Amino acid sequence: MSTRIGVIDYGGGNLRNVLNVLKHLGHEGLLVSSPGDLDGLDRLVFPGVGSFGDCVAELDRRDLRAPLVDWVAADQPYFGICLGYQVLFERSSESPGAKGLGVFGGEVVKFPEDRGLKIPHMGWNQVEPADRDFHVWEGSPDPLYLYFVHSYFPVPEDASLVASTTEYGVRFASSIQKGNTFAGQFHPERSQEAGLQLMRNFLAAKE
């Protein structure tokens, strides 16, 4: 039986590129825009492009907040990309007052503007895994370079969540992992073969 992969559709995001990558890897992504669309899925991918506040407002409008929190809490496979990583946290300085999913404690903050950094952080940068034996990194290049486009990044309260770090003026948590949840600030769908390998590993992992 084929794996059923849901792709969160909140009216924004990088849906087409992610769907194309899944198709390239031999899978048909199924769009999730309402709670019922989660029924029968095996894995979930949350691609993200846009603002934190607009994203969580749209998730609320589509009644997806509670089902997404429940999905992660049940340790069902989840791959968050960029904004799909950020919304797992409680809040973001990008959108004061907007409430994230709050699956993990912490805040999404902006790169410091007093260090001469070009913001957004855009382009290829090195991702340094905390544990090379973690299955998502299997078969990936060393050193590993992935593609980024972002001005904000999460600061997890629990340092044990951090699956990789990246340096851009500051060293930040470029990905996290807990159980079957993996989420990163980079865009695997824009990262050529290195990104494809991460997606392959996520799709092939045993729960």
Q: Tens of pLDDT along the chain (207 residues)?
A: 578 999 999 987 678 899 999 999 999 999 999 999 999 999 999 998 889 999 999 999 999 999 999 999 999 999 999 999 999 999 999 999 999 999 999 999 999 988 889 999 999 999 999 999 999 999 999 999 999 999 999 999 999 999 999 999 999 999 999 999 999 999 999 999 999 999 999 999 876
Residue of 27, 121, 150, 187 marked catalytic = 187
Given a contact cutoff of 8 angstroms between Cβ atoms, the answer to whether 21 and 188 are in contact is yes
The answer to whether residue 82 is catalytic is yes
Residue of 82, 107, 167, 207 marked catalytic = 82
- State residue 13's pLDDT score: 67
Where do the domains of the chain lie?
A: 5-204
The answer to whether residue 27 is catalytic is no
3-class SS at 139?
Answer: coil
Given a contact cutoff of 8 angstroms between Cβ atoms, the answer to whether 21 and 193 are in contact is no
Report how far residue 22's alpha carbon sits from residue 156's, in angstroms, rounded to the nearest whole number.
29
- The tokens 């503007």 sit on which residue? 113
> Is-above-0.85 flag for pTM?
yes
* CATH architecture of the domain covering 5-204: 3-Layer(aba) Sandwich (3.40)
